[in-house]
Amino acid sequence: MDGNGRWAKHRHLPRVEGYRAGIDAVRDTVETGARLGLQVLTLYAFSLENWKRPRAEVSALMLLLKRYLRGELRTMMRHNIRFNAIGRIEELSRDVQNELQATIEQTSRNTGMLFNIALNYGGRAEIVDAARRAMASGLSPEQLDERTFETFLYTAGQPDPDLLIRTSGELRVSNYLLWQIAYAEIYVIDTFWPDFRRHHLMEAVLAYQKRERRYG
C-alpha cells in the first residue's frame, strides 16, 4: 500500500493525512475482496523498516490502526471476514496487541475471506523466524523440505498469493512475503494508495485472469 506520503505531499498536507486517507482505500479493497469471493487478502501495513520514521508518525499510524479495527469490526462481521495479523506482533505495544487480538477472536468463527494485515513485518525476518521455529521443533535437516518449512511461516496453512498488487508505480517487492510470492503474478499501478478503489482492484483481477501462469 505505497504512496501515502506522496499523496499527502502533492496536496501540501502532513504525511499522516495520507495514511488517514488510505483507510478509505483499505475499506473499499477489503469489502470488494470479500464480495469477489477471494480466499485470502493480505495488506502490508507496517514494515520492520517503518520504525525508522519519526516517532510522532509511527504513533499516529498505530492510533489509526486501532481506530480502523474498532470502526470496521461490524463490516467484517457483516461480510463474514476473518481477521488475522502476521509479523512480529509480540514487539508491538500492548494496547495494539490487545486490539488486534480482540478483532481476531471476534471474527474467528467467520468462514469467508481471510484478511491478513502485515504489521511489524519483513519477508527476510519471517524466513529467519521460521528457521528458528523449525530448529526448535527438533526436526533433523533430512526431515525439513519446502512443504514442511512452510508450516513454520506466519502464513502457515494459507495458500501462496496468486497476485501481488503494487501501488504508486514502484517496481520492487520491498521485502514482502518473499517466500510466498515465488510464483505470484505482479501487477503495478501508478495510483497512490489513498486513491486506490474498487475499480482498480477489479482491473487488477481482470488483468490477472488474462495471464498465462507458467510457474517457472
Which positions are annotated as active-site residues?
2, 50
3-state secondary structure 53-105: CCHHHHHHHHHHHHHHHHHHHHHHHHCCCEEEEECCHHHCCHHHHHHHHHHHH
- Residue type at 196 in one-letter notation: F
CA angle 144, 148, 183 (to 5 degrees): 110
Specify the length of the chain in residues. Answer: 216
Report yes or no: 85 and 120 within 8 Å, Cβ to Cβ: no
Q: Quick one: CA torsion of 120, 153, 73, 94, rounded to 10 degrees?
A: -40
Q: Which helix (H) or strand (E) segment is 24 a member of?
A: helix 15-36
45: enclosing H helix or E strand:
strand 40-47
